[in-house]
Chain A
Amino acid sequence: MKQFKKIESRAIPLPIENIDTDQIIPARFLKATDKTGFGENLFRDWRFHKDGNLNTEFVLNNNSYSGEILIAGTNFGCGSSREHAAWSIGEYGFKVVISSFFADIFKGNALNNGILPIQVSEAYLQTLFSAVQENPQTLILVDLENQKVTLKETKQSEIFEINPYKKLCLINGYDDIDYLLSIKDKIETFEENRVEI
């Protein structure tokens, strides 16, 4: 996994609530046996009309917006456990997703892929939406070490929570398998000591 410390980037606003993983990556694109090729199908049915033409009204097709940060409405990533959702977001180029609420499994999947889900207050989320919608050039600073997200120009900022263990993993670029392998003897001892019922 890549290390994550800080980024400064413009952002793409997607003020829709309850965006489920079926929207992030529709089921018909889950047939691959490797982890690549999902980025191009991110939000496929919102980006393209059914006839294959670009939906120019969808924000990802709006050239004025760009960046490594996706800002989305509350309860982002609900639904299926498909990690393909995190892969598609990562491959498309996002490193951070900001919302006022994340579904559990998506949050875990994002973290396991070096993507930082930042949960902010609903009020701050709206501040971010307005700032970016008013001026797509708006820069947002994300500082994982200090757990802080800031609007560069106005300095409006908010502190976010992250599990200290997960934070350490991201900053150092190591993942859960590394950790589990390092305690494999403990797992074996656990198995041996279980009371057989």
Chain B
Amino acid sequence: MGKTLFDKVWDSHVVTTIENGPQVLYIDKHLIHEVTSPQAFQELENRNISLFRPKQIVATADHNTPTIDQHLPVKDELSRKQLEQLSINCKKNNIELYGLGHQYNGIIHVIAPELGITQPGMTMVCGDSHTSTHGAFGTIAFGIGTSQVAQVMACQSVITEKPKAMRISVDGILSKVVQPKDVILYIIAKLGTNSGTGYFIEYAGEVFENMSMEGRMTVCNMSIEMGARGGMIAPDKTTYEYIKGRTFAPKGEEFDRKVTHWKSLKTDSDAAFDLEFSFDAGDIAPMITYGTNPGMGIKITETIPQTENKSFEKSLSYMGFEKGASLIDQSINYVFIGSCTNSRIEDFRVVADYIKGKQKASNVNALIVPGSQLVANQIKEEGLESIFEEAGFKLRQPGCSACLAMNDDKIPEGEYCVSTSNRNFEGRQGQGSRTILASPLVAASVAIEGKIIDISTTF
């Protein structure tokens, strides 16, 4: 019987299988950031273990960084200390760090792909659940806890059970208002927040084949919101072209050799999955969430379901919404466009295209946070900066920002924020904040109108 893409990559990285137990999986690239690494470095120090393969680690500062005045010392003392600790740890252990102010700085899941670090067929981990993003390249990439960060530092491997394989196919042609974010919000709304637990997902079918790398990253990024360890898409021409010429991508003959290998990274036609789902692109419409987990999503034109369940009701009451209500015309004061889900150049082009020549509504505070320094530069080069400024949007410096509100970019209590990030958990964007997840296009429309509208009628 044939093998799935996932099997091919996984099996080629198994060091050994523990009797009756999990497997030891070799890790090609380890990404680290300031929040989930300090205790791992500490652990190694306590045990007097040196780092095994520091050259396979790449570090950035992103979660805890301010998005204004990055050239000045970080004001918040704890944040500053955590960032300094990362610099000390990286220096001591010979790890490449793209810290604040570095030309390659940015959100870890934005910079690794754009620098050509992420490549098909690799295994990658990071102490961050959205590591699943890198699966867009046909990579096995997943989030780990800090104990495992220490394990990878010590032995370049993790001990883990092999997840089961799931395939989600979406065929047909998407309407032009439907963005990759809508596709994944739609899938999660259909399948539920824990439907992927124990699985690794392969996204297949026309819709993903026709999608840009940025779009594929948006989709794979949110695999974890279904509970899946990760999601992946078979590499193809779009992938090779995206990688070609990037800073750390293989060059010349080596690149060609890699491409020959990458071409073998696809699911064989007779391979079997443990679970399969398929959806029709024609049924997908612009989406929005109404609750406090990413599975609580509806098409913008739909109404909130009438579910009888205490947790569901608790969630609606937190959001201040009613069962059966429509969200159209809901007034919104905050819009956040950023995060590792939607802060790549393509996302900002979509936003700029929509808002060009328009003004944001006077009640709206609209924040634009690029995913990286390189994206920020590109925004300037392409002239998007002036479009944002003229429309009254605030363009900030790169980082995770209001996605998790560890820095000063917080949404005030009780306020709604239409956000292009990936989590609408209680208090995610600041204590008491209410997050509504949407695509960059929907977020842009909300910023202009000051309320939720049915984007398909105005686009």
A186 touches B428 (CB 8 A): no
> Is B159 an interface residue, CB under 8 A from the partner?
yes
Most A CB contacts (10 A, CB to CB) among B76, B129, B160 go to B129
Residue-wise interface mask of A (127-166) relative to B, using a CB-CB cutoff of 8 A (1 in contact, 0 not)? 0000000000000000000000000000000000001111
> Is B60 an interface residue, CB under 8 A from the partner?
no
Segment from A4-12, A58-66, A71-79 that makes contact with B: A71-79
> Is A26 an interface residue, CB under 8 A from the partner?
yes
- Using known A-B contacts A33-B82, A80-B129, determine if residue A177 contacts B151 with beta carbons closer than 8 Å: yes
Q: Which listed residue, B155, B257, B311, touches A197 by the CB 8 Å rule? A: B257
Q: B52 contacts which chain A residues (CB < 8 A)?
A: 184
Segment from B138-146, B281-289, B340-348, B360-368 that makes contact with A: B138-146
A34 to B82, CA, bound (A): 10
A26 to B150, CA, bound (A): 23
A105 to B144, CA, bound (A): 7
A179 to B79, CA, bound (A): 34
A177 touches B154 (CB 8 A): yes
B78 touches A32 (CB 8 A): yes
Most B CB contacts (10 A, CB to CB) among A81, A86, A186 go to A81
Give the number of chain A interface residues (Cβ < 8 Å). 54
Q: Kindly identify, within residues 40 to 91 of chain B, every residue whose CB is under 8 Å from any CB belonging to chain A.
A: 42-43, 47, 49, 52, 63-64, 76, 78-79, 81-82, 85
A75 touches B227 (CB 8 A): yes
A31 to B25, CA, bound (A): 30
Segment from B103-111, B323-331, B381-389, B419-427 that makes contact with A: B419-427
B427 touches A26 (CB 8 A): yes
- Using known A-B contacts A31-B82, A33-B85, A78-B194, determine if residue A176 contacts B258 with beta carbons closer than 8 Å: no
Q: Which listed residue, B16, B36, B156, B197, touches A81 by the CB 8 Å rule? A: B36
- Using known A-B contacts A45-B426, A105-B145, A112-B148, determine if residue A33 contacts B157 with beta carbons closer than 8 Å: no
Residue-wise interface mask of A (165-197) relative to B, using a CB-CB cutoff of 8 A (1 in contact, 0 not)? 110000000011101110110110011000001
A73 to B314, CA, bound (A): 13
A113 to B20, CA, bound (A): 21
- Using known A-B contacts A27-B406, A31-B64, A45-B431, determine if residue A187 contacts B310 with beta carbons closer than 8 Å: no
B155 touches A103 (CB 8 A): no
Shortest beta-carbon distance, B159 to chain A, in Å?
A: 5
> Is B333 an interface residue, CB under 8 A from the partner?
no
> Is A108 an interface residue, CB under 8 A from the partner?
yes
A17 touches B425 (CB 8 A): no
> Is B245 an interface residue, CB under 8 A from the partner?
no
> Is B116 an interface residue, CB under 8 A from the partner?
no
Q: B47 contacts which chain A residues (CB < 8 A)?
A: 177
> Is A22 an interface residue, CB under 8 A from the partner?
yes
A31 to B82, CA, bound (A): 6
Q: Which listed residue, B26, B38, B145, B423, touches A108 by the CB 8 Å rule? A: B145
Contact size class for B?
35 or more
A181 touches B49 (CB 8 A): yes
B151 touches A180 (CB 8 A): yes
B404 touches A27 (CB 8 A): yes
Q: A177 contacts which chain B residues (CB < 8 A)?
A: 43, 47, 49, 147, 150-151, 154-155
Shortest beta-carbon distance, B407 to chain A, in Å?
A: 10
A101 to B121, CA, bound (A): 31
A112 touches B425 (CB 8 A): no
A44 to B310, CA, bound (A): 21
A33 to B80, CA, bound (A): 11
A184 to B51, CA, bound (A): 12
Q: B39 contacts which chain A residues (CB < 8 A)?
A: 33-35, 83
Q: Which listed residue, B146, B163, B193, touches A83 by the CB 8 Å rule? A: B146
Q: Which listed residue, A15, A20, A34, A101, touches B425 by the CB 8 Å rule? A: A20
Task: With CB as the reference atom, state the residue of chain A lying closest to B154.
Answer: A177
- Using known A-B contacts A17-B311, A163-B161, determine if residue A187 contacts B197 with beta carbons closer than 8 Å: no
Q: A190 contacts which chain B residues (CB < 8 A)?
A: 15, 26
A79 touches B423 (CB 8 A): yes
> Is B252 an interface residue, CB under 8 A from the partner?
no
Rank and list the top 7 A-B pairs by shortest CB-CB distance, nearest first: A165-B21, A31-B78, A109-B145, A112-B147, A33-B38, A83-B145, A17-B311
Identify 4 new A-B residue pairs, CB closer than 8 A, beyond the known A16-B310, A22-B426.
A18-B194, A35-B39, A75-B197, A83-B146
List 24 interface pairs A-B (beta carbons < 8 Å), by A numbering. A16-B311, A31-B82, A31-B406, A32-B38, A32-B82, A74-B194, A75-B193, A78-B193, A80-B128, A81-B145, A82-B35, A101-B194, A102-B197, A103-B194, A104-B197, A104-B198, A163-B22, A165-B18, A177-B47, A177-B49, A177-B147, A179-B18, A183-B16, A186-B16
